[in-house]
Structure 1
Amino acid sequence: MRFLPVFLDLAAGPVILVGAGEMARAKLRLLLSAGATIRWYAVDGDRDLSGLSEADRARISFADGDPLEADLGGAIALLCAGAGDLAAPLAARAREVGVPVNVMDELSHSTFIFPAIVDRGDVVVAVGTGGSSPVVARRVREMIEKVLPARIGDLAGLIGRWRHPMKARLPEFALRRRFWERVVDGPIGAAVLDGRDAEAEDQLKAIADPAAYARASETGHAQGHVTLVGAGPGDPDLLTIKALRALQDADVVFYDELVSSEILDRIRRDAARVPVGRRVNKPGIGQAAINKLLVEAAQAGQRAVRLKGGDPFVFGRGGEEVEALRDAGVSYSVVPGISAGFGAAAQFDVPLTYRHEALRITFLTAHKAKDAEAVDWSVLTDEKMTVVVYMGMSAAPTVRAGLLQAGRSPQTPVGVFARVTRPDSKAAVGVLDDLPALVAQVEGGPAILVIGDVVAHSAPWRQQQLQQLVSTYQVAAE
Structure 2
Amino acid sequence: MRFLPIFLDLQAGPVLLVGAGDLVRAKLRLLLSAGARVRWFAVDGDYESGLDSEAAGRVERAGDPLSADLNGVIAILCAGAGELGETVAARARAAGIPVNVMDDLAHSTFIFPAIVDRGDVVVAVGTGGSSPVVARRVREKIESILPARIGDLAAFIGRWRKPMQARLPEMSARRTFWERIVDGPIGALILSGRESEAEQALRAIENPEAFASERGLVTLVGAGPGDPDLLTIKALRALQDADVIFYDDLVSSEVLDRARRDAARVSVGRRIGKPGIGQDATNALMIAAAREGKRAVRLKGGDSFVFGRGGEEIAALREAGVAYAVIPGVTAGIGAAAQFEVPLTFRKKATRITFLTAHKTHDAEAVDWSLLTDVAMTVVVYMGITAAPAIRAGMLAAGRSPDTPVGVFARVTRPDAKAVVGTLDQLPDLVTQVENGPAILIIGDVVERSLLWRGSDLGRLAASLMEKIQ
TM-score (norm 1): 0.89
Question: Residue 422 of structure 2 contacts residue 458 of structure 2 at CA under 8 Å; is this kept in 1?
Answer: no
Q: For the structure 1 residues 165 and 200, does the alpha-carbon distance in structure 2 shift closer, same or farther, using more than 3 Å as the test?
A: same
Matched, 1:454 2:446: yes
Query: Match of 2:145?
Result: 147
What's 1:406 paired with? 398
Separation in structure 2 between the aligned mates of residue 212 and residue 450 of structure 1, nearest angstrom: 51
Select 2:353's aligned residue among 361, 365, 369: 361
Single out whichever of 92-101 and 437-446 deviates more from structure 2: 92-101
Matched, 1:34 2:34: yes
Give secondary structure in 1 for the equivalent of 2:394: helix
- Give the drift of 1:157: 2.2
Q: 1:340 aligns with which of 332, 343, 355?
A: 332
* Total equivalences in the alignment: 461
Corresponding residue number in structure 2 for 1:256: 248
* Separation (CA, whole Å) in 1 of partners of 2:21 and 2:398: 68
Find the counterpart in structure 2 of residue 4 from structure 1. 4
Report whether the alignment pairs 1:438 with 2:430.
yes
Q: Is the 8 A contact 2:405 2:424 kept in 1?
A: yes
Tell me the residue number matched to 1:420. 412
Equivalence for 1:292: 284
CA distance in 2, matches of 1:414, 1:178: 54
The residue matched to 2:251 in structure 1 has which SS? coil
Report the CA distance shift for 1:256/1:5 in structure 2 as closer, same or farther (over 3 A): same
Is the 1:187–1:224 Cα contact (8 Å) retained in structure 2?
A: no
CA–CA separation in structure 1 for the residues paired with 2:206 and 2:404: 65
| TM-aligned CA distance change 1:63 to 1:277, over 3 Å | same
- In the TM superposition, what whole-angstrom CA distance separates every residue of 1:391-421 from its partner, at most 9, and x where no partner exists? 1111111222222222222222211111111
Q: Which residue does the alignment assign to 1:278?
A: 270
Contact map agreement 2:62 2:68 (CA 8 A) in 1: no
Query: Counterpart in 2 of 1:127?
Result: 125
CA distance in 2: counterparts of 1:274 and 1:292, whole angstroms: 13
Give the aligned residue type for 2:395: L
What letter matches 1:47 in structure 2?
E
Local SS of the residue matching 1:201: helix
| Amino acid across the alignment from 1:4 | L
- Cα distance in 2 for residues equivalent to 1:263 and 1:361: 28
Q: State the Cα RMSD in Å.
A: 2.5
Q: Secondary structure at the match of 1:12?
A: coil
CA separation in 1, counterparts of 2:34 and 2:118?
12
Taking the aligned partners of 1:456 and 1:185, their CA distance within structure 2 comes to 46
Helix, strand or coil at the partner of 2:379: strand
Aligned pairs for 1:226-241 (under 5 A) are 226-241=218-233
Indicate yes or no: 2:307 matched with 1:315: yes
- Once the 2 structures are TM-superposed, how far is the Cα of residue 274 of structure 1 from its aligned partner? 1.4
Distance 1:435 1:376 in 2: 19
Q: What does the per-residue CA deviation read over 1:135-187, in whole Å, with 9 as the maximum and x for residues that have no partner?
A: 22222223333333333333332332233333344444444444444444445
Structure 1 gaps, min length 5: 217-221, 473-478
Q: Find the counterpart in structure 2 of residue 381 from structure 1.
A: 373
Gapped regions of structure 2 (runs ≥ 5): 465-470
175 and 228 in structure 1: CA distance in 2 versus 1, 3 angstrom threshold? closer
SS at match of 1:10: coil
- Secondary structure of the corresponding residue to residue 326 of structure 1: helix
Residue in 1 aligned with 2:95? 97
Tell whether the 8 Å contact from 1:49 to 1:57 is kept in structure 2 after alignment: no
CA distance in 1, matches of 2:60, 2:247: 61
Structure 1 distance, partners of 2:340, 2:20, is 49
1:11 counterpart SS class: coil
1:265 aligns with 2:265: no
**2:326 counterpart SS class:** strand
Please report how far the alpha carbon of residue 212 of structure 1 lies from its aligned counterpart in structure 2 after TM superposition: 5.2
Q: 1:73 aligns with which of 53, 71, 74?
A: 71
Change (3 A) 1:43 1:453: farther
C-alpha spacing 1:460/1:203, structure 2 compared with 1 (3 Å)? same
**In the superposition, relative to structure 1, how do residues 379 and 430 fare at CA in structure 2: closer, same or farther (>3 Å)?**
same
> Identity over the aligned pairs, expressed in percent?
72
Q: Distance in 1 between matches of 2:325 and 2:184?
A: 12
